[in-house]
């Protein structure tokens, strides 16, 4: 399963679950839209590829994209 499929599964399985702020995870609330899933994949993939030889800087770059 790739990253996009995993995020789509989370979106599908938790679509109707209300979070702490009484809003759901779905795209109607601007949370986990298809565009946001693609953006997350691009950001994290870029951070990982840019820091392939240094784990600490990779972790910092991933947290920075968060």
Kindly report the pTM of this predicted structure: 0.67
pLDDT (0 to 100) of residue 53? 94
**Are the CB atoms for 7 and 13 separated by under 8 Å?**
no
Number of separate domains in the chain: 1
Pull the structure tokens for residue 17.
């679950």
Q: How far apart are CA 6 and CA 17, in angstroms?
A: 17
Run means of pLDDT, 10 residues per run, the chain, 66 residues: 81 83 77 85 90 92 82
Q: How far apart are CA 58 and CA 56, in angstroms?
A: 5
pLDDT in tens, 5-19: 888 888 888 878 888
Q: Which of 13, 40, 38, 42 is nearest to 25 (CA)?
A: 13
- Supply the range of the domain harboring residue 22: 3-65
Terminal Cα-to-Cα distance of the chain (whole angstroms): 22
């Amino acid at each position: 399963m790739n990253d996009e499929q995993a995020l789509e599964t989370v979106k599908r399985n938790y679509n109707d679950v209300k979070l702490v702020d009484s809003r759901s995870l779905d795209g109607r609330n601007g949370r986990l839209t298809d565009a946001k899933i693609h953006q997350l994949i691009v950001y994290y993939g870029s951070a990982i590829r840019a820091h392939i030889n240094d784990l600490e800087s990779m972790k910092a770059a991933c947290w920075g994209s968060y």
